[in-house]
């Protein structure tokens, strides 16, 4: 495994190995350097969640696991369940229930979207992703991965 270090001398590296570039321009330089370092051989570069033990599941997928099986978010599902078409149908139906009935963009957001040429559903999902405490449902989260 390659050890990748910041390319900008003023990028701070925390004890959790978080990189804190001093500006957006330096962030872009760091990003380009990381991408270049990982091109050969190809490597996974980014992880949106700080808890490394957690699987790369969306918040909604973690919420479904907790609701259906009472397990912690970082606990993987048994392979038999994970590969089951029935499990995927249940999760899909939970998603359709949440975003078809229980949680929808406001009429005001639809009107703004129409005027501004935005997608009301994307803006709504983006808001819930960034501010999960505003999620009105028991099944928390979106299908967006950070």
Residue 84 pLDDT exceeds 60: yes
Q: Are residues 8 and 36 in the same domain?
A: yes
Is 105 among the domain residues?
A: yes
Is 139 among the domain residues?
A: no
Residue 51 pLDDT exceeds 70: no
Is 143 among the domain residues?
A: no
- List, for residues 130-145, the tens digit of each pLDDT value: 888 899 898 888 887 7
Residue 42 pLDDT exceeds 70: no
Q: Are residues 42 and 64 in the same domain?
A: no
Q: Are residues 63 and 101 in the same domain?
A: yes
Higher pLDDT, 93 or 132: 93
Q: Are residues 25 and 71 in the same domain?
A: no
CA distances from 33 to 26, 52, 65 (A): 10, 23, 37
Range of the domain at 92: 59-134
- List, for residues 18-41, the tens digit of each pLDDT value: 889 999 999 999 999 888 887 766
pTM exceeding the 0.75 threshold for the entire prediction? no
Among 111, 103, 107, 108, smallest CA distance to 129 is for 103
């Amino acid at each position: 495994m390659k050890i990748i270090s910041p390319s900008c001398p003023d990028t701070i590296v925390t004890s959790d190995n978080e990189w804190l570039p001093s500006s957006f321009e330096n962030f872009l330089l760091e990003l380009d350097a990381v991408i270049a370092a990982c091109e050969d051989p190809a490597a996974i570069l980014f992880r949106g969640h700080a808890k490394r033990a957690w699987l790369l599941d969306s918040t909604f997928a973690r919420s479904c696991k907790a609701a259906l099986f009472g397990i912690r978010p970082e606990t993987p599902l048994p392979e038999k369940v994970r590969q089951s078409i029935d499990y995927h149908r249940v999760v899909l139906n939970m998603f359709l229930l949440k975003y078809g009935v229980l949680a929808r963009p406001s009429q005001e957001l639809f009107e703004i979207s129409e005027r501004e040429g935005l997608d009301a559903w994307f803006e709504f999902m983006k808001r819930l992703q960034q501010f999960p405490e505003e999620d009105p449902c028991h099944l928390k989260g979106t299908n967006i991965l950070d």
